[in-house]
Homo-oligomer: A and B are copies of this chain.
Amino acid sequence: MAKSDAAAAQPDARARLTDDVSFLLARANALSLAAGNAALAALGLKVRSYSVLALACDTAAGPSQRELAEFLRLDPSQVVALVDDLQRRGLIERRPDPADRRANVVVATADGLALHERALAAAEAAERDLHANLSAAERVQLADLLRRIAFP
């Protein structure tokens, strides 16, 4: 079964992988996640908790934990821990949903809103750095294309 010839005859897998959207997605996300977590660390946040906080800042009647789980593609049981942590720090509150007593609605406190402002600035700075090789128009276009994959 020795067959170095066939191996040499193969097209270049490295070149193929760098054309593979899934691979590029994974690598770009790894860089983005690392940069985001680093930028948010000074505020005691990670990309995950920042996302929950951002969504809790959405409206006065914030999202339910179920909605958070769906939007962030997390298991509901993971959302519990994230919300616990942010609530313990006084950044968000669980409020019983008057329309459905099973559900909690997650809303930001004043402290949460204030921290979100700073976190947003930090996250945007990290993102600017990550997208240094893209023009503003290209960033918009990238967001458009990604959105069609992320929300099919």
A residues adjacent to B (C-beta < 8 A)? 1-4, 6-8, 10, 12-14, 16-33, 36, 47, 51, 54-61, 63, 67, 70-73, 107-111, 113, 116, 123, 126-127, 130-134, 138-139, 141-143, 145-152
Contact = CB atoms under 8 A, between A and B. Distances in A.
Given A6-B60, A7-B107, 14 more contacts: A3-B113, A6-B110, A7-B59, A12-B58, A13-B57, A13-B58, A20-B127, A21-B146, A24-B146, A25-B28, A27-B151, A29-B29, A134-B149, A141-B145
A18 B54 CA distance: 11
Contacts of A13: 54-58, 116
Contact of A26 (B3, B32, B63, B116): B32
Contacts of A108: 7
Given A6-B110, A33-B26, A55 B14 contact: yes
A23 to B, nearest CB: 7
Copies in the complex: 2
Contacts of A55: 13-14, 17
Contacts of A63: 1, 14
A115 to B, nearest CB: 13
Contacts of A111: 1
Nearest to A53: B13
Nearest to A113: B6
Contact of A71 (B1, B51, B61, B138): B1
